[in-house]
Amino acid sequence: MLMTLQGCALFGGDDEEVQLPTELIEFESIIEVDEKWDVSVGKGHEGLVLGLKPTTDGEQIYAASFDGNVIAFDTNR
């Protein structure tokens, strides 16, 4: 077991330089969002990261839930 753990040191280790995130800056918004509608399609499921994203065909917006439900919203309403 000790030999296995020592082998991990061959692939880098504490010698790597850590790059810190860039400091956030203040900025002025140059566009204003005009929200036309808002809808909730569920609260998700704790612990699952499924990567489900809404999609559109130009007429409808489709969203799917973790348990297999698919909902369509008409974009012209």
Cα(37)–Cα(52) distance, rounded to whole angstroms? 21
Q: Is residue 17 part of a domain?
A: no
pTM given for the model: 0.48
Better pLDDT: 49 or 57: 57
Q: What is the tens place of the pLDDT at every residue in 24-50?
A: 999 998 999 898 878 877 777 777 778
Looking at the 3D structure of the chain, how many domains does it have? 1
Whether 60 is in a domain gets the answer yes
pLDDT for 41 equals 75
Q: Is residue 27 part of a domain?
A: no
Asked whether residue 39 is assigned to any structural domain, the reply reads: no
Question: What range defines the domain where residue 68 resides?
Answer: 50-77
The pLDDT value recorded for residue 60 is 93
Residue 57 lies in a domain: yes
